[in-house]
Structure 1
Amino acid sequence: MLSPILPTLAERLRNAGYFTSGFSNNLTVGVLNNGLRRGFQRFVNYNGFLSSQSRQARMNPKAFAPYLKLFKRQLNTNARSLQDTLAHSEGLQNLSFPLYARLGPLLEKMLKTKGNTKKALTDAAQLLIERKEVDEGQPIFTFINLMGTHLPYHPPLHFLKRYASDVLRDKAARRYLNHLNTHLLSWMAPLTTDLDEQSKAILDGTYDAEVASQDEQVGAFLEKLRSGGALNRTLVIVCADHGEHLGEKQLMGHAFSIYNELTWVPLLIRDPGGDLPAGVQIEQFVSTRRIFHTVLAAAGQADPLEESLSLAQTRSAESDPDHGVVFSEAFPLGNLLHILQQREPQLVQEHRCDQMRRAVWKGEHKLIQVGDDHWELYNVFEDPNEKKNLYEALPEQVRAMQEHLQTFVSHAGVGAPTTDYTIEYEDPVVLSHLRNLGYLE
Structure 2
Amino acid sequence: MTLVLLNDAAGAPRIVRRVPEGAARREDALRDLLLAHPAMLPVGEIDPGIGPLVPVARELNVPDVGRIDAFLVDARGHLVIVECKLWRNPQARREVVGQILDYARALARFSYEDLQREVSRATGSSGNALYQLVAAGAGTDGMDEAQFVDRVSRNLAAGRFLLLVVGDGITEGTQRIGEYLVAQPGLAFDFALVEMAQYAWTDGTGAEQVVVQPRLLAKTVVIERAVIRNEASVVIADLRDEPVAPAGEGRGRKLDSGLQEAWRGFAEHFLAGMVFDDPSQPPPRIGGLGWMKAPLPRGHWLTLYRASGSGRIGAYINLPGSEGLAAFERLAADRALIDEELAEAGLPAPAWERTDKGATITLAWPSPLPWDEGAEMRQRDLLRRAANQLVNSFRPRLEQIGPEG
TM-score, length-scaled by structure 1: 0.24
Name the one with the larger helix percent: 1
Name the one with the larger strand percent: 2
Q: Tell which has more relative contact order, 1 or 2 (C-alpha 8 A, sep 6+).
A: 1
| Bigger Cα Rg | 2
TM-score, length-scaled by structure 2: 0.26
